[in-house]
Structure 1
């Protein structure tokens, strides 16, 4: 395709660096804006930057927002909507789609209105009322914070006790430690099954027919234990509009068209032999989901997002097997400790034992005179990916590539993709969700 001009906007933290780098490497003109002062160096040496994205809107053929947040408030959906009203082609949300992530109660209302089955859930703005509800209705619950504080991923808590006693204890602790910041929380009944996310790309009118199914690994340590993180790794594959899609995101197609939404939207679910239970929306790119999706694109990434933003019936050719992505992290991730970061991670060199860079993707990294270095404040420099005809082959390629990376103090999960091999895949196929479309 001819060269196009892409403007990437991180209105808060830097998240979309790798996609900007990929499109830049395809020969397109790219400018990248980062709002957060601590993140401004991220992508230096990889991607051309701008200090004033609004001044470059007229320059751009496509504007791409990477998240819903503008600082500590939602707001990129409003910005995207305003730009579309001016005739600009934008990958981004709307005020209502931003609200899907920020307010979990509203998200459940939208799902129910569109005929999607939901789990029993309750919204509370008072800790004592939530505790009383659990005591009067004993069961395992999941605590999901509302608002900006939900970005502190370790606050999500999945209860284990049948009487809910662990949940009430956690709520009392949150009241003391987080009561000043947590605007509210959702209590969701815990459901057993396979956790799977359905992800589609929407062009303002309809979904692209190629649908992504991914499996998140949010806990810090192998075996799914330890504190919750944003994400430690993802496994995935692509398919068509099967039963799992049609009973979830497919039911929102008209609603999203009315909104004029453009971009990636993900609905994480628990699935068992009885039903599908949506958990939460990601009405934006997921991280590192988009990195792994990008690795599996076999058609032009720039062409796809240009066509998506312009509503040009985008075509997408993808790898037909399985894909695995692993996040490489450094101390003190997932916590914030400036002294530890300064001593262990800041500006650390990223060294490769081979010349190839296949499957190596940047997050919080910069390139200084040809030397890759850790950038920013978060300790998430790289995502490494692999793909294969089987999930096991994808895992092997991914971890072989990780073995070639040297960063002092790096750590990562070594079990990404194992859940599929150990039974998740067989169960989803046996329950009929991943075969040909059915009612």
Structure 2
């Protein structure tokens, strides 16, 4: 489940070498003795959140509201105003390591530093270099699936457009163009072909060659297959997966009925389950490898499934956005305590809500594109107005608080994520829509059909024995 944040190429994907130059672990290692660490859940613990884009503001607020102390650092400079007035912000997360009982890294690229901190005895929720590579290097992710005995779709990686065009001409079929590395953050570049001869893919590749030249980076062509798109995810405590499992249905296109550009995500519907044939056929097979790595966090795999089988598409080895916030609507225990138990390697069952959860982004220009001038003219410092003072199920995204008013900040136009829950999907949708109708934001737009696919998806998944 990819992030929908668009960004410049000034921020490197892998932060290991970047941070190593600035972080001298010996400066604080003498204060970290494993035998002195207390892994009991503190009534008021200290949580340090290291965020790439500020997307975990809502998580920081939730932990703060549970009575814990929270400090938040944002790596991306244009996003650093996010969270002001809501939580305590820090300029250098490394100076607060000793203070923290638990450090949460909310994105890929921090795997090396997470491993180093764990080796020093710190409790850390975040990836490893291996899980970072599962997500960021599509070819590596597919090779690992094959290594673990998971059936995959035919795919091929390319470094230039001409080679890809010649490949499609020689092997006519329907393909999906998937950017890799840093370029994959530009979700509008992902293209799903529909022509069985691949002619539409060839036209798009030629257009990308004209507009991007040699700056596109490597990308993957993957054989397209029809079916239900579904992701399965679970939390891992360093040794094993924690149950229940989360099943998510993403809605990626900008407009209802899956029209318009790909955004990464506009909203999702989901439910929790104690078992899943899709999970058993994919993520479960990675349990021993993840334990060997000491991974602590959430691992998600997006798949296309049909009557012929389960076909994994891509990994997300971190929190998914907005998946995390919709999950919170279905988790019935304090999220801070849950993450503390996870990071300290405890085996437990997550207390979850029965039924369904659904959530949709409320957005303003220029989303899903980058346009600083448009953001400044139409969206910067716009006020989020509530008709009635009811904020349950309303998750602040790229906001700051001034004089108790919620103002839009950052640079992408992601204002809120609004959730709803219910024993049926329609009940969850109705709750979400009622909450959204209580909110006024100038120039706002959002999808009104999140969850509508469920009736059809359910019938097909049930008939294939995948529920």
TM range (shorter): over 0.9
What is the match of residue 272 of structure 1?
306
Does the 8 Å contact 1:304/1:314 carry over to 2?
Answer: no
Per-residue deviation, 1:345: 0.4
| Aligned counterpart in structure 1 of residue 74 of structure 2, from 34, 53, 61 | 34
Per-residue deviation, 1:49: 1.2
What is the match of residue 4 of structure 2?
none
Counterpart CA distance in 2 for 1:162 and 1:113 is: 29
Aligned positions of 1:217-296 closer than 5 A = 217-296=251-330
**1:15 aligned to 2:49?**
no
Per-residue deviation, 1:178: 2.0
Per-residue deviation, 1:366: 1.1
| Aligned counterpart in structure 2 of residue 103 of structure 1, from 137, 140, 153 | 137
What is the match of residue 76 of structure 1?
110
Q: Kindly tell me the number of residue pairs found equivalent between the two proteins.
A: 426
What is the match of residue 71 of structure 1?
none
Counterpart CA distance in 2 for 1:339 and 1:229 is: 20
Counterpart CA distance in 2 for 1:200 and 1:389 is: 22
Does the 8 Å contact 1:384/1:402 carry over to 2?
Answer: yes
Does the 8 Å contact 1:123/1:184 carry over to 2?
Answer: yes
What is the match of residue 24 of structure 2?
none
Per-residue deviation, 1:44: 1.1
Q: Deviations over 1:347-372 (max 9, x none)?
A: 00000011111100011011111111
What is the match of residue 437 of structure 1?
none
Counterpart CA distance in 2 for 1:195 and 1:161 is: 19
Counterpart CA distance in 1 for 2:114 and 2:284 is: 23
Per-residue deviation, 1:3: 1.0
Counterpart CA distance in 1 for 2:419 and 2:189 is: 28
| Aligned counterpart in structure 2 of residue 162 of structure 1, from 196, 211, 227 | 196
Does the 8 Å contact 1:323/1:386 carry over to 2?
Answer: yes
Counterpart CA distance in 1 for 2:122 and 2:142 is: 31
What is the match of residue 65 of structure 1?
105
Q: Deviations over 1:222-254 (max 9, x none)?
A: 010101112100100000122111001111111
What is the match of residue 318 of structure 1?
352
Per-residue deviation, 1:105: 0.5
Aligned positions of 1:198-217 closer than 5 A = 198-217=232-251
SS of equivalent to 1:418:
coil
Counterpart CA distance in 2 for 1:355 and 1:186 is: 48
Does the 8 Å contact 2:160/2:214 carry over to 1?
Answer: no
What is the match of residue 407 of structure 1?
441
**1:426 aligned to 2:467?**
no
| Aligned counterpart in structure 2 of residue 52 of structure 1, from 77, 85, 92 | 92
Does the 8 Å contact 1:388/1:394 carry over to 2?
Answer: yes
Does the 8 Å contact 2:70/2:87 carry over to 1?
Answer: yes
Structure 1: unaligned runs, 5 residues or longer: 69-74, 435-439
Q: Deviations over 1:153-175 (max 9, x none)?
A: 00000000011000011111111
In terms of mean alpha carbon deviation, does 113-122 or 313-322 score higher?
Answer: 313-322
> Over aligned residue pairs, what C-alpha RMSD do you find?
0.9
Q: Deviations over 1:148-199 (max 9, x none)?
A: 0110000000000011000011111111212332221110000000000001
**1:355 aligned to 2:389?**
yes
Does the 8 Å contact 1:147/1:182 carry over to 2?
Answer: no
| Aligned counterpart in structure 2 of residue 4 of structure 1, from 36, 42, 45 | 45
Does the 8 Å contact 1:156/1:228 carry over to 2?
Answer: yes
Counterpart CA distance in 2 for 1:8 and 1:432 is: 40
Counterpart CA distance in 2 for 1:37 and 1:94 is: 24
SS of equivalent to 1:44:
coil
Does the 8 Å contact 1:146/1:182 carry over to 2?
Answer: no
What is the match of residue 187 of structure 1?
221
Does the 8 Å contact 1:330/1:379 carry over to 2?
Answer: yes
Q: Which runs of 4+ in 1 moved over 3 A?
A: none
State the TM-score, normalized to the length of structure 1: 0.96
State the TM-score, normalized to the length of structure 2: 0.90
What is the match of residue 178 of structure 1?
212
Q: Deviations over 1:119-158 (max 9, x none)?
A: 1111111211111111111110000001101100000000
